[in-house]
Structure 1
Amino acid sequence: MQLPRIPGLPDLFRRSWVPKDIDSIVTVGHEDDPAAAGMTQEGVDRIWRAAIAAYRTGLYPALQICVRREGVVVLDRAIGHASGNGPDDSRDTEKVLATPDTPFLTYSASKGITAAVIHMLIDRGELGLHDRISTYIPEYGCLGKESITIGQVLSHRAAVQQIPEGISPDHWHDREFIVDALCRIKPAGKPGTYQAYHALTGGLILGEVVHRVTGNDIRTVLAKEILEPLDFHWTNYGVAPESTDQVARNYVTGLPLLPPITHLAQRALGASYRDVTELGNDPRFLTAIVPSGNLVSTANELSRFYEILRRGGEMDGVRMMSPETLRQALVEQGKFQPDFTLGVNFRFGFGFMQGGKRVSLFGPDTVRAFGHLGFINIAGWADPQRALSAAVMTSGKPFLQYDTTRFFALILAIRNASPKVDPGDILF
């Protein structure tokens, strides 16, 4: 339940206004009968109630959700406003309703798609998981980075988690500047010996590897190989300049951050929490190619992308990778080690966050689940044991504080409503 506001005083919790008539701000896409997916209407209703509970906190001006089971879309809805209802907007600000077609910036959920592109090229023999980065970017092999491999970058074990110095919004379209900045980084430790989340560097390095190997930027490779054959509209790095105003606006919500949380955010992101949120609204960033953080998608399309992987890497005649390559991508790296950037452990394969037996981002008993979070409050994932592929988008960016548990409660509700399939029916 949303905490009360005190008339005449600023809202210290930085929330959007929640109308009494929730149905007036809900839009619904195409949804099939849950029975066709082996689910119950009651289970789907529980998921939706969890989504409404998250929205009612006021922390998420817009929330979008899509759930597929056995490839069947059982839930595809949006609630709230794509713009105009942030904590600093007045009641008179023009409000644009969010719909299932509204694209969202996915922040670090981009990394899961980038990993998929890399494994696609590995599957084709154009890259090797244990190849050195310097094999493809010779100038990168300096200052102790000579031995860093593609697999170490994917698994956040390359010891180059530092944010490159000097990068500003004006540089996002300057490929030469970014490569030079990456080359100037000196590893913070011995590559391969520990996990430290690479918030920005990993995706930039991998994007440049793709460019060197294929002769095309990673945006073009993703579009030509996957998105266009499968008729995706969004789900690529950035958008065309004329489309920036269609992307849902990002808002800082929730309680102000205080030390030591501010220091943790600065260390992980290289900027303040507010600055990173606002960067997601900057047209210079929204039109660039940032494989670690500027993929733009909808919940429907992101869940559909994970549906390809849930099926073992192939859908509708388009093969992204073989099941064998996907299994290799999901081999866990660095069991039970703390993450020296985030301060908490996230289980990683080669590019994907992974589920777990007891505790995980995707709920308990999700050892086969994999996907990626984006700026804490966005998620896309697949759970082969439950024939599940899903995504949740939000435009609010609260840190881990009061009522952000509602976001993870929503993910848990999706897991709980999706029964396990017979082991013989798991596709890879």
Structure 2
Amino acid sequence: MTVTTAVQGICAPEFENVRAEFERNFAERGEVGASVAVKRDGEFVVDLWGGDADAAGTRAWERDTLVNVYSTSKGMTALCAHLLVDRGELDLDAPVSRYWPEFAQAGKGDVPVRWLLSHRVGLLGPRERLTPEDVYDWEKTCAVLAATEPWWEPGTAQGYHAVSFGFLVGEVVRRVTGVSLGTFLRTEITEPLGADLYIGTPAAEHGRCAQLIVPEGGSLRSLYSELLADGPVRSLDAAPLAPLAIAMGHLPTGDVNSAACRSAEIPAANGNATARGLAEVYGALVDGKIVGAGTLAALREPQGRPGEPDVVLSATAPNGLPFSWGCGYMLNTGGYLGPNKGAFGHGGAGGSFAFADPENRLSYAYAMNKFGGGTTGGDPRNFALVEAVYAAAGPAGRTG
């Protein structure tokens, strides 16, 4: 017997198949609670939500339910840097040490800001474990990273900086602006837009947060604990998944649903958002409300060599990644962001995803609380929704 989940919200008539696929996620794909939003030509054509905000089914998912979107947060973190670029306050080709002098330690004096955004600096994480309390201490974590010797010669390879990305980019933003990444995001981007999205979620908003239903152990780090059990990994060749273990290894080991984790600023991995909030921000990018056309073009320029592997993610994707890296964003190499190769965005562990499609004047976001697929957009729940969006919208922009 199929259990029907009540789906609420609005959906333009031509996008009714998106509603159908969203309902199918609950009926056939194991969805617990989720939201999906699409903005086109400056208007929301899809804004749907449904299901439960907790595993026990005691709280309904509401229009304003927030949820941890893991690495989908990276797109918002990168946007803070690009807003500073657009204002002439940050130069992507200047050395990081111009803004953050302590970063010059361990041979990193000439590393440009651009390499932080494109996962090329080789600072997957520190060479010693950090405790959850350490990771919640912004200044301590950044000091440790500044003193760390890169895992490879900066600029010579790309490898997903799963957690350190947010501290590295965020500290540059903090040095330029004098405020934290989460504060800058809120005051300069999300509040002016009315977008419901936080990095460093205020305690007053915790009651709106859905329970993230994660793998046993309460943290992504538990997935790699066997590689870290014997102490710090000293070499990228120490084990088949060693690069991934290093990149993920300093995620907090505690409950990701705790007040401490929600309140902390871990800009690569703990943004809490609604799908509508994410689509609002990406929609503002499409509409030119945040940065100019030159900055928009530059942030989605490929940063790696054609076909260059990602030394971290290749451990789990031996046949290649379905995207390439721009400056802080996943580019649509594999078509997971629809037919337009010019689309860009970011996904999060568990299955959340959000992107902008400037040529089609469209933005999209999906957020959920049941941990499923990885960061690439290939989670069946998300992929079905994206396909339904473009079946309705049609590719009006470049597709090659």
Aligned CA distance change for structure 1 residues 171 and 162 (closer, same or farther; 3 Å): closer
Match of 1:310 in 2: 286
Alpha-carbon distance, 1:139 to partner: 1.2
Match of 1:351 in 2: 328
Matching residue within 80, 101, 109 for 2:51: 80
Query: Helix, strand or coil: the match of 1:380?
Result: strand
Q: Percent identity?
A: 30
> Does structure 1 residue 381 correspond to structure 2 residue 337?
no
Give the structure-1-normalised TM-score.
Answer: 0.79
Match of 1:409 in 2: 384
**Structure 2: segments with no counterpart, 5+ residues:** 217-221, 227-238
Give the structure-2-normalised TM-score.
Answer: 0.84
> Does structure 1 residue 128 correspond to structure 2 residue 128?
no
Query: Helix, strand or coil: the match of 1:83?
Result: coil
Q: Is the 8 A contact 2:275 2:367 kept in 1?
A: yes
**In structure 1, distance between residues paired with 2:397 and 2:164:** 40
Q: Is the 8 A contact 1:310 1:387 kept in 2?
A: yes
Superposed, 1:221-240 pairs within 5 Å as 221-232=184-195, 234-240=196-202
Query: Helix, strand or coil: the match of 2:36?
Result: strand
Superposed, 1:212-227 pairs within 5 Å as 212-227=175-190
Aligned CA distance change for structure 1 residues 247 and 137 (closer, same or farther; 3 Å): same
Superposed, 1:100-119 pairs within 5 Å as 100-119=63-82
Alpha-carbon distance, 1:113 to partner: 0.7
Matching residue within 265, 276, 301 for 1:289: 265
Aligned CA distance change for structure 1 residues 329 and 164 (closer, same or farther; 3 Å): farther
**In structure 1, distance between residues paired with 2:136 and 2:214:** 26
Match of 2:341 in 1: 367
Alpha-carbon distance, 1:82 to partner: 0.6
Match of 1:160 in 2: 123
Superposed, 1:57-206 pairs within 5 Å as 57=28, 59-85=30-56, 95-162=58-125, 165-206=128-169
Alpha-carbon distance, 1:57 to partner: 4.3
> Does structure 1 residue 245 correspond to structure 2 residue 221?
no
Q: Is the 8 A contact 1:354 1:360 kept in 2?
A: no
> Does structure 1 residue 421 correspond to structure 2 residue 383?
no
Aligned CA distance change for structure 1 residues 79 and 350 (closer, same or farther; 3 Å): same
Matching residue within 370, 373, 396 for 1:396: 370
Query: Helix, strand or coil: the match of 1:82?
Result: coil
Q: Is the 8 A contact 1:100 1:299 kept in 2?
A: no
- Which amino acid is the alignment partner of residue 244 of structure 1? H
Larger radius of gyration: 1
Query: Helix, strand or coil: the match of 1:54?
Result: helix
- Which amino acid is the alignment partner of residue 342 of structure 2? R
**In structure 1, distance between residues paired with 2:16 and 2:250:** 39
Q: Is the 8 A contact 1:55 1:63 kept in 2?
A: no
**In structure 2, distance between residues paired with 1:48 and 1:261:** 41
Query: Helix, strand or coil: the match of 1:97?
Result: coil
Match of 1:331 in 2: 301
**In structure 2, distance between residues paired with 1:268 and 1:173:** 17
**Structure 1: segments with no counterpart, 5+ residues:** 1-18, 35-39, 86-93, 315-319, 424-428
**In structure 2, distance between residues paired with 1:265 and 1:399:** 16
Query: Helix, strand or coil: the match of 2:192?
Result: coil
Match of 1:91 in 2: none
Query: Helix, strand or coil: the match of 2:52?
Result: strand
Q: Is the 8 A contact 2:164 2:247 kept in 1?
A: no
Alpha-carbon distance, 1:279 to partner: 4.1
Q: CA deviation digits over 1:228-260, x for unaligned, max 9? A: 22233x312121123223211111369x97999
**In structure 2, distance between residues paired with 1:265 and 1:197:** 8
**In structure 1, distance between residues paired with 2:188 and 2:223:** 42
Q: Which moved more, 1:240-249 or 1:149-158?
A: 240-249
Query: Helix, strand or coil: the match of 1:391?
Result: strand
